[in-house]
Amino acid sequence: MKLHGYFRSSAAWRVRIALNLKGLSVTHVSHHLRHGGQRAPDYLALNPQGLVPALELDDGSILTQSLAIIEWLDETHPQPPLLPATPLERAGVRAFAQAIACDTHPVQNLKVLNRLRELGHGSDEVLAWAASVNVDGLSACKQLAAKTAGPFCFGEAPTLADLCLVPQLGNARRFKVDVAQFPRLLEAEAAALALPAFRDAAPERQPDAE
């Protein structure tokens, strides 16, 4: 398999964690987002959205959207499971993951920040926007995970929620958010980063890291 991504992409980061947890190896193909590599014609032929990641399977099939890729991995390689056993628990984990992947990350990513700059917003305004989006999203996630004992977001093993949380906390720090206000989430992050699968997926450990 080939994983099309970029070292700093939060969405690709989530998929790298899932692959590591499943013990699956892939060839990494980098598309430099700041240089517009995701809009190259050959990549758009694979993913018309021009986003990363995309997972290219051995038979040539292409999967896009990080959560869809991760759930495919979980269905085809069920150990260790990334979703809990019961429908109610699975819904809770998915809600947490989607709060990040659908409502937080997309509106603070490079494409949106560049558009804000094009509309005349200064650097300080743009960074303040990104920081506020992170605070809002993580505040909601703090509440979603508050009723479940740790050490991970939803219990004693990592789930899809943790795969989304760790990259988003990385984003928050990059935008100078004081993450100390989220102790429950930091507890889950610490549990995750104790695992090689999470540590090895970090941006600074990728072949295309700058």
What is the pLDDT tens value at each position of the chain, 210 positions in all? 999 999 999 999 999 999 999 999 999 999 999 999 999 999 999 999 999 999 999 999 999 999 999 999 999 999 999 999 999 999 999 999 999 999 999 999 999 999 999 999 999 999 999 999 999 999 999 999 999 999 999 999 999 999 999 999 999 999 999 999 999 999 999 999 999 999 999 999 999 999
Q: Which CATH architecture has domain 87-197?
A: Up-down Bundle (1.20)
Q: State which CATH number among 3.40.50.2300, 3.40.50.970, 1.20.120.420, 3.40.30.10 fits the domain covering 2-80.
A: 3.40.30.10
Tell me the C-alpha distance between 159 and 197, whole Å.
13
Q: 117 Cβ partners below 8 Å, 6+ apart? A: 123, 126
- Residue whose token pair is 């909601």: 140
Domain positions in the chain: 2-80, 87-197
Say what the pTM is.
0.96
- φ, ψ of residue 202 to 5 degrees: the values are -60, 145
